[in-house]
Structure formats: structure tokens, C-alpha cells
Amino acid sequence: MMLDYDNQEQNRRPFWLRALWKVTKTASVVLILSFVIREFMFTNYIVYGQSMMPTIQDGERIIVDKIGYEIAEPERFDLIIFHADEESDYIKRIIGLPGDELYYESDTLYVNGTEVEEEFLEEPRSEASADGFTDDFTLQDLTDEQTVPEDHVFVLGDNRQNSIDSRQIGFVQQEEIVGRANLTFWPPQNIRFIK
């Protein structure tokens, strides 16, 4: 009997009030889920500048995975978003991991004394001048450190000749990493997973 009374009471409310209540509940759930997903799982960024060309073009929008590094460590060649300072976030590629000794010689990356292939640079290297694409350097020349410190990474832009990266700003603390760039979604003709 109690259920019948509740149903009768509910049916006495005006239709618009019942509809408004349903819309409010649905909108609240959607907003809360959106906030949780954006704040803790994924976010999007607009890339400004040419430092990651040709991998990512100026003006492209990307999806960033914010939870991946909560369960796994960054890997060499991941594309990451990090807080460069209080106003700016950068997107760069991880070249050096904690404990790595690295240097460039004759446009070739050496990590811990072993040559490491950078396949993502094949196209821009083929278009570069005869002087090479990445200038020679050692970690010690740039940072006074022999190896990448613990809880830090060394990053470079894919457009080596037009990038502000660890060669100028130094190592990136892992706690400053927002997440890993996974996907470009705008403009629509450029939708793709990022390598």
C-alpha cells in the first residue's frame, strides 16, 4: 500500500517538475563523470609552435593520458606534456631516462655508449642540410651532469633545429609530467595515434 501512495504522490507533481528533476540528475552525473575523467584520466591540449614537427603540427589538438605514469614509468621516446614553468606546458620527446649517459655525435644518438636509432626523425633528417639535424653535444656540456638524475628525464623536440628543450631548460622532473600524448583529434583529417 505504501508504494501505491508514493506513486500517486509522485504523479501529482507537474510533468515539467518531474522532467526537470530527471534532466538535473542526468546532467549532474555527466558533469561529475566529465570532471573525474578530465581531472584524473585524460585531458586535451592544443599544440602551439613548430618544435614537434613533423610528428605534430602547429594547431593540432591532442589527447593526453594522465594516468599511465601512475602505474608505469616513462619510456624512451614517449611524447610527454610537462609543466615547463608556472604559465607554460611543453610537449617534447623523452630521450634520456634516469641513470642514462647520453650524447650526440655526427647526428647520432648514443645512450650508455650504444647507438640508438631514432626512426621518427627519418623524414626531417632527409630534408635537413648537410650540416646535420641534431648538433653534437654531451650531457655534461649542457648540464654539468654525467647522467640523467634520478626522478628526471631529458627531452628534445622532434624539430631539433627549432625547439626549446632540455638543451636550454635542463632536465624535467618526473613530477612535472602531466601525461603522455596518445592521439591527435583535430583537425579531423589528421586523426591518428601518435608514435
| Residues with catalytic roles | 51, 92
C-beta neighbour count of 57 within 10 angstroms: 13
Give ∠ CA 143-118-146 in degrees, rounded to 5. 20
- Cis peptide leading into 54, omega within 30 of 0? yes
- Is the distance from CB of 62 to CB of 183 less than 8 angstroms? yes
Q: Which residue from 172, 193, 3 is spatially nearest to 80, judged by alpha carbons?
A: 172
